[in-house]
Amino acid sequence: MTKPVILVAAVGLVDADGRVLLAQRPPGKKMAGLWEFPGGKVEPGETPEAALIREMHEELGVDIKEACLAPFTFASHAYDDFHLLMPLYLCRRWQGTPAPHEGQVLKWVRPKEMKDYPMPPADIPLVAMLRDYL
């Protein structure tokens, strides 16, 4: 049986201290309580970069320029009812202060401490790459 492929773009916002912003999925959402990199679904006709610019403005109230999004790696993970393809970008420059606009909890975390935050299965392999890079 073929599963639909869902394209979701995510970003690791990296602050001046090398910490990465994680968002906790709010109650009522699938995988509630798990920590993830901010981002969202790429809409038809939208590029991953445009999706991140839109999502970061909607979810966190920050403005990002496309030139500040550096492709880093990606996740490809089979969930029960769909296959997730998730490019992860890194970003060190944005305008505004990230704030939770959609009921999520935000936390700045050092990559070596991310193992202490339960994450969706697709996000877990990305942590080691971030830890090695940052």
Ranges of the chain with pLDDT below 50: none
What is the per-residue pLDDT across 52-82, written as a single tens digit (0 to 9) for each?
A: 999 999 999 999 999 999 999 999 999 999 9
Q: Which of 105, 96, 127 is nearest to 23 (CA)?
A: 105
Query: What is the predicted pLDDT for the residue at 103?
Result: 87
| pLDDT in the model for residue 2 | 86
Cα separation, 66 vs 37, in Å, equals: 18
Q: Which two tokens stand for residue 15?
A: 């602050």
Residue 28, pLDDT score: 86
Domain harbouring 119, CATH code: 3.90.79.10
Show the domain range for 64.
5-133
Contacts (Cβ under 8 Å, ≥6 apart) of 38: 10, 11, 13, 21, 23, 55, 56, 59, 60, 98
By the 10 Å C-beta count (0-12 exposed, 13-18 middle, 19+ buried), 37 is classed as: buried
pLDDT of residue 62: 98
- Residue 22: how many other CB atoms lie within 10 Å: 23
Structurally, how many domains does the chain consist of?
1
The reported pLDDT for the residue numbered 65 is 97
